[in-house]
Chains A and B, each alone.
Chain A
Amino acid sequence: GAVVSQHPSWVICKSGTSVKIECRSLDFQATTMFWYRQFPKQSLMLMATSNEGSKATYEQGVEKDKFLINHASLTLSTLTVTSAHPEDSSFYICSAREARAGTEAFFGQGTRLTVV
């Protein structure tokens, strides 16, 4: 199947700093990318949907100024957690899908963010 690479796999940062997470589709053009957050023993919560070249659509309750999403190319989307706080510590997962209707989304391996 198609490959989605997420980087870094884990990151530790200090409170107040910003962290950028990259999501790349390695062998297909991802017109749509999704960002999820996963709490321990909880389900994946969709944070936002981004389409290449346009602004991301955020789910209700997700602060768009805190979680900046950029999808500038068909193979790369980034999530920047700005002014991180300990409560932002979580597992963040991206997925990417081609433009054709009905195609499946492929998932990255996730990024473990710890804010200290």
Chain B
Amino acid sequence: GNSVTQMEGPVTLSEEAFLTINCTYTATGYPSLFWYVQYPGEGLQLLLKATKADDKGSNKGFEATYRKETTSFHLEKGSVQVSDSAVYFCALRTQGGSEKLVFGKGTKLTVNP
């Protein structure tokens, strides 16, 4: 079946540190891959996505590259800010069918000043 595994948190960093949150997936076919962010008290927001192998999604300084050979979609940011503190979810959506999203467990990031 389809599944997403992401690194367990929580992750605590100082401002301006480099961030990596690992995400690997198992899927049949060629899924689209997503990172969602959930700020405290809010719903999930789409952060970035990639729809095919070698695509790089980017937004707000965050990047993730769709690596088919390693079935990975790691999230990176070169310099985090306090405002990046949130829970980050990696997700996949298989092509066709009902287009359901399958989520990882989420990684809580806290950035300290």
Given A42-B105, A46-B101; A4-B43 close (CB under 8 Å): yes
Choice from B42, B98, B104, B106 contacting A49 with Cβ under 8 Å: B98
CB within 8 Å of A: which B61-113 residues: 89, 98-106
* B39 closest partner in A (C-beta): A109
Choice from B4, B36, B41, B102 contacting A109 with Cβ under 8 Å: B41
The residue among B36, B43, B101, B103 with the most chain A CB atoms within 10 A of its own CB is B43
Which residues from chain B sit less than 8 Å from chain A, CB to CB?
A: 4, 36, 41-46, 49, 89, 98-106
**In the complex, A97→B49 CA distance in Å?**
16
Choice from A49, A57, A109 contacting B43 with Cβ under 8 Å: A109
Q: Which 4 A-B pairs have the closest CB atoms?
A: A109-B43, A107-B44, A107-B43, A43-B105
Contact yes or no, A43 B106, CB < 8 A? yes
* A59 closest partner in B (C-beta): B100
**In the complex, A57→B100 CA distance in Å?**
12
Q: Which of chain B's residues have a CB closer than 8 A to the CB of A43?
A: 4, 89, 103-106
Question: Whole-angstrom distance from the CB of A46 to the nearest CB of chain B?
Answer: 6
Contact yes or no, A57 B44, CB < 8 A? no
Q: Which of chain B's residues have a CB closer than 8 A to the CB of A106?
A: 46
Q: Which of chain B's residues have a CB closer than 8 A to the CB of A93?
A: 43-44
**In the complex, A16→B7 CA distance in Å?**
38
Contact yes or no, B98 A110, CB < 8 A? no
B interface footprint on A50-82 (CB within 8 Å = 1, 0 otherwise)? 000000010000000000000000000000000
Say if the beta carbon of A44 comes within 8 Å of chain B.
Answer: yes
